[in-house]
A and B are shown apart, each in its own frame.
Chain A
Amino acid sequence: MLSRQWIHGWLLLLPALAFIFLFTHIPAITTIWNSFQSTPRGRRPSQFVGLDNYERLIGDPVFWKVLVNNLWFALGTIPVSIALSIAMALFVNRAFAGRSLVRMAYFTPTVLPLIAVANIWLFFYTPGFGLIDQVLGAFGRGQSNLLGSPDTALGAIIVVSIWKEAGFFMIFYLAALQAIPPQLAEAARIEGAGGWTIFRRITFPMMMPTTLFVSVNAVINAFRLVDHIFILTGGGPDNASSLLLYYIYETSFRFWDTAYGATLTVVMLALLGLFAIGQFFLFDRKVHYK
């Protein structure tokens, strides 16, 4: 009897399990295995090289540069887009004329494909006749070359990512706000609490599960969203705006150095794994679930 239930259980699990293994676990294991091999070239098959690829990684200045870039990218996008999405959610949670229109406007960047968005921003950033320069020019400012200068290229990429992401996170915060019982705020107000106190003591803590969810997503996005780099800078100038995933793509599919690409991917997997574990174990204690 027990064994029959057991078989039933596994049969029910099988389809999902097969897909998870086929598309997630097996590729991950293959990637780790490949990172210990050399890249096969037509005339030279791949061979086991132990930790050679990892030694090369440690000595690769471009790897360290994209890693540091990626940390700045994460630091630049995550807090700002979360703060912005909370502000937008609070704003459109109130009743006012044209509320649906504003909600839609905030959400539009999420719906647009990132490549299309990047092309729009490319026009904004274009020196001389781009939108930003035309507006600044009206105030007597000269040309700027935001994408073409190593000091500003990464910042310009970060702005596009925030613009793209914030509206998406806003939807989750909006849902969370509407799930908070209004009596709590009313009771606080009777006790004489101001708007800021209500937000700090009631609204924000009540939204903590959403913040956890959003921040996990934001961290993943910080390592995952690179489409716009293809259009805006191609990682340049001199890798100033290149991120880890973009470097992985270049290494694997432009340079065809698949073994080193696998090594970089292992680093990325490890990093994301660490972040996820950290977030769930540390952050989780402060999250109040109903």
Chain B
Amino acid sequence: MLANILKGAAASAALAITMTSPARAVDLQFYFPVAVGGGAAEVIQSLTDEYLEENPDVNIDAVYAGTYQDTITKVITAARGGNAPQLSVALAVDMFTLLDEGLILSFDDFITTEEDRAWLDSFYPAFMENSQTGGKTYGIPFQRSTPVLYWNKEAFAEAGLDPETPPANWEEMVEMGKALTRKDDSGNVEQWGVRIPTSGFPYWLFQGLTTQNDVILANSDGNETNFDDPAVVEALEYLVSLSTEHGVMEPGIVEWGATPKAFFEGQTAMMWTTTGNLTNVRDNAPFDFGVAMLPAHKRRGAPTGGGNFYLFEGSSDEELAAAVDFIKWITGPEQSAKWTMATGYVAPRPATWETDTMKAYAEEFPAVLVARDQLEHAVAELSTYENQRITQIFNDALAAAITGEKPADEALAEAQAQADAILAAYR
């Protein structure tokens, strides 16, 4: 009896051993945030599982860590407690912050072969601007985006405009906006011309305007800002004039989150928002819509946005090499195509757009190409040391000007002085 039980136990133990995956040589932890709707987390999990099947000697624990903000908080907390993950996706603009905390490693140390070097050079340069500093690469573009203009073709036709032609420059956006702004008998606006959301992180879309006005907000060392440049003031005055002078945009702070809904409801005929909303708009807009590059002024321009892969200090070389191998794989053309189709993020390497999958998708839905083509005109997203605080100072200045509390030049001069005081320590 006892012998039988023992035998049974031994058999099930043996079974358990064969059932568990073969001993993994390397254990990795990977944090990722999700910032868009849909099944982004499932896609990352399934991609990770696919990699594990191909690479039985590696184990990767993919941890969904919340929003970008939550992820960076968790990563920094874990690293301070000595439990940093080997790799994580986090905002590209947090590069300087992570460097300053001494938490991240450059990818150059893991680049050994010609092939590796070619891979590192194969990303769109616009995305690499936020990923490199001092000649070294600290981030690998993954879930990257850029803002685009969406327009309601039916509203354009009703207003007597050509439904196939979006505004090409600032003046046209105002003119078309005036034609599109519709009021009821008592003078209340039923449909606004354009909507550039300004809540939460107004600096991002505003950076579209400053880039079009041919000015850069921060240097590539991340220790100098140009908030009080006359061209920045001019861009802010243009943004404010859309509601005050021209009356084509809702006054006050315009909510980011409600923007797609306002577009679907016909509250606005044009909106500026991230290309990450593309799949959302495609699924929910009850009318024919178009996607265009942001209008130009002195030049075309837009910021990039979104998250990069980072490598963290505090692991063995073997683990880090495995992490780099995983990053190489997941940014590969086929994997990247899956990711782009599921979310709307811009695939960060030209090779992805050459795959048959991606070509077929673009043929069926050409709007996905707009964001990619805009990359040629795109610049680095505002990123400095103590990035969150500097952008908050800038956001506060923008909000003060938009709500009419301060004139644009005064608000921006104050923001520049505050930013200077903080960044002086990094020069």
Residues of chain A touching chain B, judged by Cβ–Cβ distance below 8 Å, are 41-43, 62, 122, 126-129, 137, 140-143, 145, 147-150, 233-234, 236-239, 250, 253-257
Query: Are B199's CB and A143's CB within 8 A?
Result: no
Q: Shortest distance in angstroms between A138's beta carbon and chain B's nearest beta carbon? A: 12
User: Which 9 pairs of residues, A with B, have the shortest CB-CB distance?
Assistant: A42-B102, A148-B253, A148-B252, A237-B399, A142-B188, A145-B252, A255-B389, A238-B399, A42-B101
**B255 partner, pick from A126, A149, A250, beta carbons under 8 A:** A126
Among A43, A129, A238, A256, find the residue whose CB has the most chain B CB atoms closer than 10 A. Answer: A238
Query: Are B250's CB and A237's CB within 8 A?
Result: no
Query: Are A142's CB and B187's CB within 8 A?
Result: yes
Within 8 A of A (CB), among B359-397: 386, 388-389, 392, 395-397
Query: Are A42's CB and B103's CB within 8 A?
Result: yes
Q: Given A142-B188, A237-B402: A149 and B252 within 8 A (CB)?
A: yes
Q: Shortest distance in angstroms between A82's beta carbon and chain B's nearest beta carbon? A: 32
CA A234 – CA B262 in complex, angstroms? 20
| A231 to chain B: closest residue by CB | B257
Query: Are B392's CB and A250's CB within 8 A?
Result: yes
Contacts of A147 in B (CB 8 A): 253, 255
Query: Are B403's CB and A238's CB within 8 A?
Result: yes
Q: Does B267 contact A (CB under 8 A)?
A: yes
Among B101, B265, B392, B402, find the residue whose CB has the most chain A CB atoms closer than 10 A. Answer: B392
Query: Are B261's CB and A129's CB within 8 A?
Result: yes
| A41 to chain B: closest residue by CB | B100
Q: Given A128-B267, A236-B199, A256-B101: A150 and B261 within 8 A (CB)?
A: no
| A254 to chain B: closest residue by CB | B388
Contacts of A137 in B (CB 8 A): 188
CA A234 – CA B198 in complex, angstroms? 12
| B426 to chain A: closest residue by CB | A41
7 contacts across the A-B interface (CB closer than 8 A) = A140-B186, A145-B251, A147-B253, A234-B199, A237-B399, A255-B388, A256-B101
Looking at chain B's contact residues, is the secondary structure mostly helix, strand, loop, or mixed?
loop
CA A257 – CA B393 in complex, angstroms? 15
Contacts of A254 in B (CB 8 A): 69, 73, 388-389, 392
Q: Does B126 contact A (CB under 8 A)?
A: no
Q: Given A42-B100, A42-B101, A254-B69: A238 and B262 within 8 A (CB)?
A: no
Contacts of A233 in B (CB 8 A): 199
CA A84 – CA B239 in complex, angstroms? 43
Query: Are A145's CB and B102's CB within 8 A?
Result: no
Type the 1/0 row for B234-277, where 1 means its CB is closer than 8 Å to any CB of A.
Answer: 00000000000000001111110110011001010000000000
Contacts of A145 in B (CB 8 A): 250-254
Among A42, A145, A253, find the residue whose CB has the most chain B CB atoms closer than 10 A. Answer: A42
Query: Are A140's CB and B188's CB within 8 A?
Result: yes
Q: Does B97 contact A (CB under 8 A)?
A: yes
Within 8 A of A (CB), among B17-43: none
Q: Give the bracket for the number of chain B residues in contact with chain A.
A: 35 or more
| B313 to chain A: closest residue by CB | A42
Q: Does B189 contact A (CB under 8 A)?
A: yes
CA A43 – CA B426 in complex, angstroms? 12
CA A126 – CA B392 in complex, angstroms? 23
CA A149 – CA B199 in complex, angstroms? 11
New A-B pairs, 16, CB < 8 Å, besides A234-B199, A237-B252 = A126-B255, A127-B252, A128-B262, A129-B262, A142-B187, A148-B252, A148-B254, A149-B252, A149-B253, A150-B405, A233-B199, A236-B200, A238-B403, A253-B73, A254-B73, A254-B388
| B268 to chain A: closest residue by CB | A128
Q: Given A149-B403, A238-B403, A250-B392: A143 and B250 within 8 A (CB)?
A: yes
Contacts of A122 in B (CB 8 A): 257
CA A147 – CA B389 in complex, angstroms? 22
CA A253 – CA B66 in complex, angstroms? 15
Contacts of A150 in B (CB 8 A): 399, 403, 405
Q: Shortest distance in angstroms between A142's beta carbon and chain B's nearest beta carbon? A: 4
Q: Given A128-B265, A141-B188, A255-B392: A236 and B100 within 8 A (CB)?
A: no
| B98 to chain A: closest residue by CB | A42
Query: Are B396's CB and A238's CB within 8 A?
Result: yes
Among A149, A234, A237, find the residue whose CB has the most chain B CB atoms closer than 10 A. Answer: A237
Q: Does B76 contact A (CB under 8 A)?
A: yes
Q: Does B322 contact A (CB under 8 A)?
A: no
**B395 partner, pick from A127, A148, A236, A256, beta carbons under 8 A:** A236
Q: Given A127-B250, A142-B188, A148-B253: A238 and B258 within 8 A (CB)?
A: no
Q: Does B321 contact A (CB under 8 A)?
A: no
CA A233 – CA B255 in complex, angstroms? 9
Query: Are B97's CB and A256's CB within 8 A?
Result: yes
Among A149, A239, A256, find the residue whose CB has the most chain B CB atoms closer than 10 A. Answer: A256
Type the 1/0 row for B73-90, where 1 means its CB is closer than 8 Å to any CB of A.
Answer: 100100000000000000
Among B255, B262, B389, B397, find the residue whose CB has the most chain A CB atoms closer than 10 A. Answer: B255
Contacts of A128 in B (CB 8 A): 250, 262, 265, 267
